[in-house]
Amino acid sequence: MIKPQPFALTALAAALLAGCGFTPDRTPPPQELPTTVAVIPEFDALWWKQYGSEELDTLVESARTHNAEIQTAIARIEEARALLGIASAEQLPRLDLGASGSRQRASRNGPQAGLGTYEDYQFAASASWEIDLWGRVRNQREAAFEQLRATQFERESVLLAVTASTVEAYFNLRALDAQVDVAQQTLATREESYNLRVKRFKGGMTSELDVRQAEAELMDARAALPALQASQTSAQNALLILTGSSARSVFEDTAPRGVAIDLIVPDAVTVPPGLPSDLLLRRSDIQTAEAQLRATRAQIQVARAAWFPRITLTGLFGVQSLEFSNLFDGPSKAWSYAGNLAMPLFDNGLTAAQVDEARARDKQAAITYEQTVRRAFGDVRVALDSVQRSRERAAALQQQTTALVRQVKLARLRYDNGYSDFLEVLDAERSEFEARLNLINAQRDALLSQLTLIKALGGGWRAEPTAG
């Protein structure tokens, strides 16, 4: 029995220790986070259902199933999963099976001059395996695995974005529906007012000035209606495209409506107060950036491994014969095994440049991760403030609209009783029309501000079970 030499044992131990040193750092850069409470409440992941619109539920379900961006994100996951399979395959030995048959004539002046015309048949299995002492293959697989995780988190980001965009498009459409209704009501009212002014003018009860003023206001309302209707059509098309409708459906169909904009409660989706900072780190875009950072760190170790030898074992077992009839006889057996070691001696700085490239990409990924975390907390701060401000604005405009409706009634009474001219009525009606349109925009903005907060928080989540 041959005893291992001390030098061989020392070299093997050094190789194993070096391999351990090629493990990438998996911890993300430390972040200084805001201090909050430590209780994690639960937030319904199907948050859009709380708005109480079956039509909206149907639209969101269709978008999450058929939207083109989501389908593309799923295809990216499939691609990343295939790349992980390719990287994983290198960790195990490769087995191949081959067969060949040939008939040839040897040169009379060559080294095989005595063979003349001969045949050669071979059937063999071969195997090859790289001994991954330095973690090159292992880190390649880890990088591919982290890229797969990144694409999975990206899909969650796309799902949330598409869902939020669908809800936003629905709110925009319902707001435009309401504004079109207001414009049509205003147009009808001003047509009645204009016809009445014409009759009174013909009866000598008023001047032509009142008629022309009423006509000008009538044309103003008539001009406002087509612009609102055009925006309504555009919003409807945007909603249908988001839901993955066919080209024919986008061109011919109308989107379902459901709950009116003023009946949708702005705070229907209740966001729990006192959310912990580490909960925000669960946002899919942050998790995507973290996975990509881990992938780049693994790629650094892949590049570093190129400085060290690559050891490959190969083997072959089969049969070979100059006659096919003797191919599977005992004497036709053939086998071989070999080991191969290769390492760069002088590559003009290629390996060093590849390591520098991997480290530079890692720096970029780390910066992207930190910036994503900053942006996430900034988004939440802005969204929280926007929710409060938008509700205050909607409440003020509601009170203003109520006052202007009363003002119009009083202005008409004063004009009918001869206490003021018709211009006072027109000013009141114009202010009321603008206020009603502004109120609808404010009601929509209150809904959108809460939607922005939901997006900033990363959508819904479930409370984690406590230990013990």
Per-domain residue ranges of the chain: 21-105+115-168+258-456
Give the model confidence (pLDDT) of 354-365 as tens digits.
999 999 999 999
Model confidence pLDDT, tens digit, residues 121-164: 898 899 998 888 888 899 999 999 999 999 999 999 999 999 99
- Residue 1, CA distances (Å) to 12, 13, 100, 181 in order: 20, 22, 40, 98
Residue 276, both tokens = 């912990």
Amino acid 468: pLDDT: 38
Please identify which residue in the block is written with the tokens 């079109």: 180
Q: For residue 291, is pLDDT > 70?
A: yes
* CATH class, range 21-105+115-168+258-456: mainly alpha
How does residue 4 score in pLDDT terms, banded at 50, 70 and 90? very low
Q: What is the pLDDT of residues 400-422, one digit of tens each?
A: 999 999 999 999 898 888 888 88
Which pLDDT belongs to residue 165? 93
Give the pLDDT confidence of 219-241 residue by residue, as tens digits. Answer: 988 999 999 999 999 999 999 99
Residues of the chain with pLDDT > 90, as a percent, come to 42
Maximum mean pLDDT: which of 49-53, 80-84, 198-202, 262-266: 80-84
pLDDT per residue as tens digits for the range 32-89: 776 654 444 566 788 898 888 899 999 999 999 999 999 999 999 999 999 999 999 9
Cα–Cα distance between 8 and 10 in angstroms, integer? 5
Q: Which residue has the higher pLDDT, 270 or 390?
A: 390
